[in-house]
Structure 1
Amino acid sequence: MASKMVLEEALMLGELSDFVIKVRDKDFKINRTILSNSSLYFCELFHNNPQMTVCSFPDVSASIMDLIVKYAYTQSVLVLENNVQLLLEAAECFKIKGIVRTCCDFLLQKLNTSNCIWILTLADRYLYPDLKEKACLFILRYFEDVAQYCPDFCNLSAEQLIHLIGKTELNVRQESVVFEAVIRWINYAPAERHGHLVSLMSKVRLNLISVNYLVDTVRVNNLVKGSPKCMAMVTNTMKKLQASNLVRPLARARLPAEVLLAVGGFNDNLPANVIELYNVRTNRWRTVYNKDNLLPEFSQCVYIDGYIYCVGGLLDHRFFSSVTKFNLSTKTWEEAGVMHEARANLSVVTLNGFIYAMGGWNEQETLKSAERFEPGTNQWTQIAPMEHRRADAAAATLHGKVYIFGGLLGNLALSSAECYTPTTNQWTLITPMSVARGAMGAIAYNDQIFVIGGCSHGRRLANVEVFNPASMTWGMVAQMHYPCSNFGVALLEEKLYVVGGIDTQDLTLCTVWCFDADKNQWNFVRDLGRPHGAVSCCLVERVPHASAFPL
């Protein structure tokens, strides 16, 4: 640090200088050796021209050259959104790898749906394979938003667009999005782009589009109607679908960006050792793990950074304080940090990289204690206890806070609810639910928390309450099709999923429901491969963490 300060002072005072760089409106007095250590361009220039003392670069601004010269003296550079492109171009020109790396890291941090195509084009131009790959993956992941909102979408080359929409990894909920993106891109410059229509349409997976949309939108589109080859594609697809009684082939289905994992729980009154994976694109479940080691009953599983953590639980009448974690890459379980208290039927959530474990019960009592786990240190820390003792409660996180609802105190169902603020380490009682319940599910969506089903005073519930933290009020939405408790919950592609559970006959379920909040409607989706009660649901990024699992 001291040497950098000395060199920076020498630069400011013009000391040690033996060369002058001239730009548009400023001269920089620099030391040839110092500049050569950072820039291969200047190293070669000075080596080939040892007598040169002045060099001009009229196309480089003073502000950019100032950053480059300061980097040579300090090995640090301030990259901003308004200078990154010019700085990167200059760093390429002067062969300064350190600035190039810093600019690429900066662009990755700023990657979003507005600039991703510009970054992809920049990476393509200067041959940055890592940056190009990450920008491409980002576009594939958020293609729907990129196609609709990115100002540079229509500036993609035909080759780039063909490459993107040809990928199975393209994340679109409806294939019609791809068709509409193709039409929008061509209509941006129809005279120049009409010749690419057939190549682009061949990448649209027409067999994944509804027949109504094919008839009402695709077939009547003017661009498609004007192309015999495109019309033949549409007609052939419709014939194949009609011949197969509209059963769609799934071999070419797009891959989802995220998958839903159903972990643990129990079936046939025995602890489950199974992990099942749900692919929303194919509406199918697949068993991806089934080994002899049993997960404790009434534990809770959550996902963080490539690991599923199984917390607490009960096995052979023994309460656990232990935690195990499942490595999704290696498909192996390993020990993690031990909680301060053994607990089953606990509530577990993740927030800002931490795992929170709350309540539950052990051999002696129902608990009000709570603790927090930091994966980086593998340590649990006790936090403030809740206001009320509760087991089998439902918990969720929203806007940096932990919420916990209801639960059981012995056989008594609770309606109370609490909110924990990590910055103050305080629990606060909030508006209670209208219906006391335990063994339910809770999940945050659209700035609200949905509390679903459960049981109350010996009967299972189908109703769903919704808590609005802004107004501290409760509302109701559509009920589930029938009452159940002890299920897993997840939010996948803006829909709420209820997985497995126990019905009014005390039977474990394999049914899976999906709630569309916009339509206020529950729908059945594909059943689990086997019944599961008290299952945990984890949402996992397919790339990189679930890429080892077959879909």
Structure 2
Amino acid sequence: FLQMREAEELTDVTLVFGDRRLPCHKVILAGMCEYFHRMFLTDMMECYSKEIVMKDINASTGVLLVDYFYTQKIDITTNNAQDLLEASDMLLIDTLKHNVEEFLCNQADKSNCISLLNLAQFYDLKLLLKETESILHDLQVNDLIDTEEVHLLSEKHLHVYVIGGNDGQSVLKSVDALDMWTLEWSSLPHMPQPLQCPYVVFVSNKLFVLGGLHGCMDPMEWSEDVYEYDSTSKTWHKRTPMPEQCPDGAAVALGDQIYVVGGSNRSCMEYNPHMDSWLHLQ
């Protein structure tokens, strides 16, 4: 088929990338790309067209893609990786998208981890997200501030939160945030109740406080309550409580979910912030 394309033998559609016109075979495009497969099997206007204009893909990327469709080979470089990522995401080419992600993981370091982290979040690249967050977490504060990409950090990565605690006399419901760029502290609205040792998780650009020791009970007991902070309205909202207490455990974010695990109860619970629902995993 590659030789037939080069000789323009039996080609039945032309892809137009900017000023480049590339004759192709529909059967190859449909077999290699889910985007074209759906296009040619539905009643879309392009299904009957002899030319398909690819408005959002530049000419050099278009040439690489068509060659990839016919050879299953492509040279991913630092110069074309982001364009290939955008194109593979748009055209639903999962294998190529994964290959680009692996390439970016190998390129990630402290000089580019913030921009790559944002890229990973935008395109839902879980491997790249894990790699860049690991690099970011290992950076010292001075290294982070000195990097040229610090302005690209989201609120999640620009602040350190200190929530609740104990001042030696009483349990606190205060919330303070350290701006990692200016190294200045600011106070947020107090939590609805005082808590000591709560679990704090930032997921989907939202701050969640889970569990902890009730400050208003004597003796203190572990809380099952869950609170979400709305940074727009600067208010706290109570969410569905945890199914059980989790003393001395931990909470982590993975993808768009929150997991509360371990502790003396050997808990394993999953929280879906979008649905405001809990699931026992054991």
TM-score range, shorter chain: 0.5 to 0.7
- Indicate the residue corresponding to 2:64 in structure 1: 67
* Residues 334-368 of structure 1 deviation map (CA, whole Å, 9 limit, x = unaligned): xxxxxxxxxxxxxxxxxxxxxxxxxxxxxxxxxxx
Q: CA 1:74–1:145 in 2, change beyond 3 Å: closer, same or farther?
A: farther
* Paired residues for 1:314-325 under 5 Å: none
Aligned partner of 1:12 among 6, 13, 17: 6
| Rounded Cα–Cα distance in structure 2 between residues aligned with 1:135 and 1:77 | 24
Structure 2: state its 5+ residue gaps: 163-177, 189-247, 249-282
| Rounded Cα–Cα distance in structure 1 between residues aligned with 2:142 and 2:68 | 37
Give the secondary structure class of the aligned counterpart of 1:185. Answer: coil
1:23, CA displacement in angstroms?
1.7
1:135, CA displacement in angstroms?
1.2
Aligned partner of 1:33 among 23, 27, 30: 27
Instruction: Letter of the 2:66 partner, please give it.
Output: V
Give the secondary structure class of the aligned counterpart of 2:15. Answer: strand
| Rounded Cα–Cα distance in structure 2 between residues aligned with 1:99 and 1:63 | 16
| Rounded Cα–Cα distance in structure 2 between residues aligned with 1:166 and 1:67 | 46
Give the secondary structure class of the aligned counterpart of 2:48. Answer: coil
* Paired residues for 1:342-353 under 5 Å: none
| Rounded Cα–Cα distance in structure 2 between residues aligned with 1:186 and 1:42 | 49
Instruction: Letter of the 1:76 partner, please give it.
Output: K
The answer to whether residue 101 in structure 2 is matched with residue 107 in structure 1 is no
Tell whether the 8 Å contact from 2:158 to 2:179 is kept in structure 1 after alignment: no
| Rounded Cα–Cα distance in structure 1 between residues aligned with 2:133 and 2:78 | 20
Tell whether the 8 Å contact from 2:141 to 2:180 is kept in structure 1 after alignment: no
The answer to whether residue 181 in structure 2 is matched with residue 185 in structure 1 is yes
Instruction: Letter of the 2:154 partner, please give it.
Output: S
Tell whether the 8 Å contact from 2:33 to 2:92 is kept in structure 1 after alignment: yes
Tell whether the 8 Å contact from 2:10 to 2:25 is kept in structure 1 after alignment: yes
| Residues paired across the two proteins, number | 171
- Indicate the residue corresponding to 2:209 in structure 1: none
Give the secondary structure class of the aligned counterpart of 1:113. Answer: coil
| Rounded Cα–Cα distance in structure 2 between residues aligned with 1:75 and 1:125 | 26
1:113, CA displacement in angstroms?
0.9
| Rounded Cα–Cα distance in structure 2 between residues aligned with 1:86 and 1:32 | 23
* Residues 402-425 of structure 1 deviation map (CA, whole Å, 9 limit, x = unaligned): xxxxxxxxxxxxxxxxxxxxxxxx
* Paired residues for 1:432-511 under 5 Å: none
Aligned partner of 1:46 among 37, 40, 44: 40
Give the secondary structure class of the aligned counterpart of 2:98. Answer: helix
| Rounded Cα–Cα distance in structure 1 between residues aligned with 2:8 and 2:102 | 32
1:144, CA displacement in angstroms?
4.3
* TM-score, reference length from structure 2: 0.55
1:186, CA displacement in angstroms?
4.5
The two structures, once aligned, show a CA RMSD in angstroms of 2.6
- Indicate the residue corresponding to 2:74 in structure 1: 77
Higher helix fraction (1 or 2): 2
Structure 1: state its 5+ residue gaps: 1-6, 168-181, 188-193, 200-250, 252-551
Task: Give 1 or 2 for the bigger CA radius of gyration.
Answer: 1
* Residues 162-193 of structure 1 deviation map (CA, whole Å, 9 limit, x = unaligned): 4xx569xxxxxxxxxxxxxx556248xxxxxx
The answer to whether residue 125 in structure 2 is matched with residue 131 in structure 1 is no
* Residues 477-520 of structure 1 deviation map (CA, whole Å, 9 limit, x = unaligned): xxxxxxxxxxxxxxxxxxxxxxxxxxxxxxxxxxxxxxxxxxxx
Instruction: Letter of the 1:26 partner, please give it.
Output: R
| Rounded Cα–Cα distance in structure 2 between residues aligned with 1:47 and 1:20 | 17
Instruction: Letter of the 1:35 partner, please give it.
Output: L
1:146, CA displacement in angstroms?
4.7
- Indicate the residue corresponding to 1:58 in structure 2: 55
1:150, CA displacement in angstroms?
2.5
- Indicate the residue corresponding to 2:202 in structure 1: none
| Rounded Cα–Cα distance in structure 2 between residues aligned with 1:60 and 1:22 | 9
1:119, CA displacement in angstroms?
0.8
* Paired residues for 1:146-225 under 5 Å: 146-162=143-159, 165=160, 183=179, 185-186=181-182, 197-198=186-187
| Rounded Cα–Cα distance in structure 2 between residues aligned with 1:107 and 1:198 | 38
| Rounded Cα–Cα distance in structure 2 between residues aligned with 1:149 and 1:81 | 23
| Rounded Cα–Cα distance in structure 2 between residues aligned with 1:71 and 1:143 | 41
Tell whether the 8 Å contact from 2:14 to 2:22 is kept in structure 1 after alignment: yes
| Rounded Cα–Cα distance in structure 2 between residues aligned with 1:137 and 1:77 | 29
| Rounded Cα–Cα distance in structure 1 between residues aligned with 2:73 and 2:140 | 35
- Indicate the residue corresponding to 2:213 in structure 1: none
* Residues 29-56 of structure 1 deviation map (CA, whole Å, 9 limit, x = unaligned): 1111111122111111111144232111
| Rounded Cα–Cα distance in structure 1 between residues aligned with 2:39 and 2:123 | 22
Instruction: Letter of the 2:55 partner, please give it.
Output: P
1:145, CA displacement in angstroms?
6.5
Give the secondary structure class of the aligned counterpart of 2:78. Answer: coil
Instruction: Letter of the 2:11 partner, please give it.
Output: S
User: Identity of counterpart residues, as a percentage?
Assistant: 24
1:57, CA displacement in angstroms?
1.8
Tell whether the 8 Å contact from 1:104 to 1:131 is kept in structure 2 after alignment: yes
| Rounded Cα–Cα distance in structure 2 between residues aligned with 1:141 and 1:61 | 37
* TM-score, reference length from structure 1: 0.29
Q: CA 1:29–1:142 in 2, change beyond 3 Å: closer, same or farther?
A: same
Q: CA 1:198–1:152 in 2, change beyond 3 Å: closer, same or farther?
A: farther
* Residues 60-82 of structure 1 deviation map (CA, whole Å, 9 limit, x = unaligned): 21100111111111111111111
| Rounded Cα–Cα distance in structure 1 between residues aligned with 2:10 and 2:89 | 26
Structure 1 ranges of 4+ moved more than 6 A: none
| Rounded Cα–Cα distance in structure 2 between residues aligned with 1:132 and 1:32 | 35
1:128, CA displacement in angstroms?
1.4
Instruction: Letter of the 2:53 partner, please give it.
Output: S
| Rounded Cα–Cα distance in structure 2 between residues aligned with 1:24 and 1:141 | 43
